[in-house]
Structure 1
Amino acid sequence: MSSSTPLLSEELFQCSVCLDVFTQPVSLPCGHTFCQSCVLTQWMASGASHCPKCSTVFQEKPELCENSFAREMAEQIRKQRGQTPMVQLPVISDNILCDMCTKEKPSLAVKSCLVCVASYCADHVTSHTSRFIKHMLVPPQRRMDKRICRIHERPLELYCRYDQTCVCVLCTNTEHKTHHTIPVEREWEDRKIQLQKTQTDLKRMIKERRKKVEELKDSIKLSKENTDGEMAFSLEVFTTLLQFIERSQNELIQNMKQKQKTAETKVGKLIKELEMEISKLHTKHSELEKLSCSEDHLQLIQSFPNPGVVPQCKSWSQISVHTSQGLGLLRETLTATEELMAMQIHTVTQRELEAISQYSVDLTLDPDTANPWLMLSEDRKCVSDGNMERSFPNNAERFDTAPCVLSKEPFSKGRSYWEVSVFSKTAWDLGVAKRSVNRKGVVTLSPDDGYWAVCLRRGNEYRACDHESVLLSLRTRPQKIGIFVDFEEGQVSFYDKNASAHIYSFSGHCFTENLLAYFNPDMNDTENNKGPLVIQPIKLVNGATSDIITI
């Protein structure tokens, strides 16, 4: 029993426009397939994009997609007929055909005329140029119909500035009659000027960003150099400490061994001396033992006229050996290590202060936030108890109970550093606060309430106002407080500037809003706290004074 596969009919692979086997078959969004030249010619003739078979109208000229299956079958049919396969042109939407060529022999356009609103192949563009030398030819353009007024079918030669659209001459007599219209060339010139300006702006922006790229590269290079320097300095510090500790340990062990050896020598001498006395006492004891057994009464009386007297010997009751020699030496060694550590911490803190001084900011006090009892200097750098309540508007920003004031300048990113003189004061608060802190009523200082502050009370009681109050032990009484804020790292640090000592750091916080510097000079009720808090100018390492706000 035999079976046969029916051959596909040639009619399935014929274009419904030219009624011949497909040449460059392309498919439309509706699913129908045509020769590329046939569908483009149909669209050019009708001035609209539609399917020649089902008459589906497309609002925009659709993308022509190559139908590879239909192309392969058409080539096989041509081979069966003995025909030479046609040269396949790439099927892309930019294939623009000559409007003058016939449908049987379509050619690709090489130029489009903006006046004729038509496209020409290499052959036809020659005759066009010879006849219309003043027409403007441009590279082949798609959708030449967009250059024609849909209402009057005239070229769009004018531009309506009122409606911001291109119009033809006849449009100025109808709906655009009262509008401001100018030639398209003039609008093009204006647009070209704007484009040139935009290009200039873009070049400037590119230049600025390239400069910023170089700055960032330089900054990361400088950062690496600084990091390498800090690593080398850290290694030097730890090497010094380790060498000192190792040397101190060896000296301590040697001293302990020497003291032990000295003690052993001393004890050996004492033991020998004791053994000699013991030997003498044994000899005396033997003599007495013999005499006590003798019956010669006269000899006993003559030899020991005073038998109750013990021979004189050295008193050993006050002589002892101490066994805790090493602990004192260890304490002395640790004390020396502690002193060296303190010196290294002092040196490191000095360098740290020099580094963070680069982020110094010029702050001023905001009078709109100051409690009415406070007095601010004219330059807004000093604040103290004014000893009287002044009449100010009770705005939402002002502290009405606590004697506080905030800075005018906020911190929203980056790093910032400033210094405040607290000389001769017995009570104060310093730090930073969220912009949104409540300024009415009693103020509670803690990170939970939006404050990161250190305070002084009763002249010598320093506290960090953390989640729980932390009593601080300071070696010296600070005269100038340095405050450093690292917004991204969520850190606020306090320093005794004159002593180059670190006081306290709040770390690990997440700042989600602007911060303001916080000042509280406290009241002068006891007449011993009348000095002001003074924002100090900062001398940089090179001697310059910083007055730039880092944001």
Structure 2
Amino acid sequence: MASATSCSEEDFSCSICLDVFNSPVSTPCGHNFCRTCITTFWDDQAQYKCPVCNALFHTRPDLQVNTFISEGLHRSHPVVPLKEEYEVKTAQLGKIEAEVQQMIEERQRKIQGIKDTVDRIKADADRELADGVQVLTALKHCVEKYQDDLNQTVKEKLKSTEKEAEGLIKEQTFRSLKNPPPTRDWTMVEVLPPSYVGTLKRSLEQLEETLDIEMKKLPDLKPDGKKSSTHGHGRATPPPAGEGATQDHHQHVPGQGRAAEQGGAGLEADVKKATRAGRGEPEEPAGDLKTQELFKRVRSLLNKLTPQIFKPVMKQVFELQIDTEERLKGVTDLIFEKAISEPNFSVAYTNMCRCLMGLKVPTTDNPCQTLNFRKMLLNRCQMEFEKGNDNEKLFEKKQKELDTASEGEKQKLKDTLEEAKDKAHRRRLGNIEFIGGLFKLKMLTEHIMHDCIVKLLKKHDEESVECLCWLISNIGKDLDHWKAKPRMDQYFNMMGNIIKERKTASRSHFILQDVLDLRRNLWVPRHGKQGPKTIDQIHKDVELEEHREQMKVQQAILSKSSGGDRMEGRGGRGERGEEEEEEDEG
């Protein structure tokens, strides 16, 4: 029997699976197979026979483990020395242990960085809370101070008025008819109510200045989103410990400084919004900080605009940097809203628009193209003029809601609807006044004016009729020349038909009739239109009124003095006659 080392690979192969023996066993006929292969083979056969020699077995034979083949297979496998295997495994374990240790150290550094970041966040939060408490407490004290000042000012004015009234009352009280007070015309004596104009506005302006000062103390953001090194109220923010910690800080808490800045900006916006609401000013347009400062400056100049200081104010307006489409649009909206909300000063605002007519800026979409102030202003006027149709639809919808509302809600909805109608009516009339002023300054063409008149004539509602009469009364003289006379005759014929057909309310009839009479009188109004006066004109009017009052008082004193002398003369002659009668009786 040959040794296992000299046998070929075929001697160790199963004749069924043709692979190396796996758990080799021997049959009674002496052939060798894998245990699994011979067992599976016999399970599929009806008779038990050898796959090699076909020897038949009457019963399923017992299989014997072939130890020889098993040992031979063991000797044929490659054998690795134990020491070499130990060294390889030891090296692998050492490498794995080093990697695990490095991972542990990295995790520990990461955890420490997170802890440091949390500590810095807590410190920043405490610092922000302290700053917030300090700033808000200061603002609270300012509000309380301005409130106290306002209360004190109002009370002092009230006290002064009451003292003046008490003095007048005491002066009019007679102790005795024998000792009357000096002669005075009491019909001209009156107690004038104190003026509180500007008191609240000054308090709000002081509060706004205080808020601006506090806002400048807050930290600014750098372009990269980080806070500046100088913190509010003179404190310096300590730098993070290490570059890695800085990265972790900005990785885990992005936008922390931006959130604080937005919180401060939100506070400023809320306070300034309340301040503008107290002054009755429109909402502030959106934009960057420089643009907001520009709008604030324009709003301030508009509040100061009067006929007397028109030129100095316009000089300051020309110095403003209105160089973007956003800024031009914001300035246009501010001027337009101011003009239609204060129609009595429409002349000043239209003159301002005339001076700004040549202002141009590059468009946002295409810097090569320009957008001018005049075009933007006229578009704004046109939008407001055409808004009447939208308002009518909105009011109809609100009226339906009012009709279907419950009894408890009807009064509230009715008040809201009336207030909205009144506001829309005032805006529409203000826009008509403004459009007429722009036409007189040659900023609008006659064609546009005729188009407005035609659109207003097509409607017979009371508001449209009032706007039509207002517009024609303002610009009719400029339109009524020989070239446009046929069109003007047509307009007035239509207005006459409206009166005859009685399609509108009685008030509208009277307004239309006044316009017809105005044209018959060659556009000379019965009463001159009063516009805004300069300060000098007001002073002259006051001096003239005071002079008239003094003349009335002097005339009253003279008339009473001459009447008293005549009474004394008649009284003297009566006493003398009585004495003579007594002597005759004696």
TM-score (norm 1): 0.29
Q: Which has the higher strand share?
A: 1
TM-score (norm 2): 0.27
Q: Which has the higher helix share?
A: 2
